[in-house]
């Protein structure tokens, strides 16, 4: 598995021509991508640096290099995704992913997510394939900031705590903002279902 992932990643980074999208134009983000071929329209195959999970990565988002961390022995990883800062200012959206391979208690993990947002969250479960469970909670700070929180876990004690914030730009009108937020939430929901744990043996 490791050699296969390294080969795919190398082929993406050694390509003579890259797609003209933010994910490939950013060198650090590009290092996570397996191929220049799309998995579906607007998305590329992504593998975490800890080699613990994979997903479809949006072509118009990048990974903040300064915020990225990987713990010793790949026990954990933190990823901060954002839209290209030089792009449109109509919508601001970030997605944070905290991976750990030592989840001790599901209730505690959900409490950690709630505490990080300083909100009481109500999670709803969505069953996934491959021994995975996805639990979701909508949240709203005010009329400007809302989003989706998620906990993805499996029987190997791996977990992903995910928070996706959405905020409209100051110049965005209220009715347009609502529409943009709903479209972004749909994208987030579809994206969450592409996330899959890998290298689960022995954890």
Give me the phi and psi of 110, to 5 degrees please: -65, -35
pLDDT at 89: 72
Average pLDDT over residues 38-49: 98
Query: From CA 38, how far away is CA 23, in angstroms rounded?
Result: 12
Q: Delimit the domains of the chain by residue range.
A: 59-197
pLDDT score for 1:
43
Long-range contacts of 88-91 (CB under 8 A, 24+ apart): 88/169, 89/169, 89/171, 90/168, 90/169, 90/171, 90/172, 90/176, 90/180, 91/166, 91/167, 91/168, 91/169, 91/172, 91/180, 91/181, 91/184
Closest alpha carbon to 79 in 162, 147, 154: 162
**Helical residues (DSSP H) of 82-165, grouped into ranges:** 106-117
Compute the distance between CA of residue 174 and CA of residue 97 in angstroms, rounded to an integer.
29
Alpha-carbon distance of 68 to 177, in angstroms, equals 30
Over range 114-123, report the average pLDDT: 96
Looking only at Cα atoms, what is the longest distance across the chain? 52
- Residue-wise pLDDT for 79-102, tens only, equals 999 986 666 678 889 999 999 999
Nearest residue to 128 (alpha-carbon basis) of 52, 75, 59, 192: 192
pLDDT beyond 80 at 201: no
Whole-prediction pTM: 0.88
Closest CA to 9 of 25, 29, 20: 29
Q: What is the pLDDT of residue 12?
A: 62
The token pair at 89 is: 């200012």
The helix (H) or strand (E) run that includes residue 199 is: none
Burial zone of 128 (CB within 10 Å; 0-12 exposed, 13-18 middle, 19+ buried)? middle
Q: Give the residue-averaged pLDDT of 117-134.
A: 88
pLDDT-derived band at 7, boundaries 50, 70, 90 = very low
């Amino acid at each position: 598995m490791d050699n296969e992932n390294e080969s795919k990643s190398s082929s993406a980074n050694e390509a003579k021509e890259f797609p003209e999208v933010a994910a490939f134009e950013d060198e650090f983000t590009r290092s996570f991508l397996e191929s220049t071929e799309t998995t579906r329209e607007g998305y590329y195959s992504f593998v975490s640096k800890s080699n613990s999970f994979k997903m479809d990565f949006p072509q118009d988002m990048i990974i903040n290099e300064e915020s990225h961390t990987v713990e010793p022995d790949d026990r954990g990883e933190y990823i901060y995704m954002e839209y290209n800062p030089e792009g449109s200012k109509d919508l601001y959206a970030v997605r944070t992913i905290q991976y750990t391979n030592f989840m001790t208690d599901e209730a505690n993990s959900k409490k950690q997510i709630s505490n990080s947002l300083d909100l009481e969250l109500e999670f709803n479960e969505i069953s996934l394939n491959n021994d995975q469970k996805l639990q979701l909670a909508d949240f709203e700070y005010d009329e400007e900031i809302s989003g989706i929180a998620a906990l993805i876990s499996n029987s190997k004690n791996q977990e992903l705590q995910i928070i996706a914030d959405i905020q409209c730009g100051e110049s965005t009108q209220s009715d347009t903002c609502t529409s943009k937020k709903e479209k972004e939430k749909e994208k987030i929901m579809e994206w969450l279902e592409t996330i899959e744990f890998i290298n689960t043996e022995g954890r």
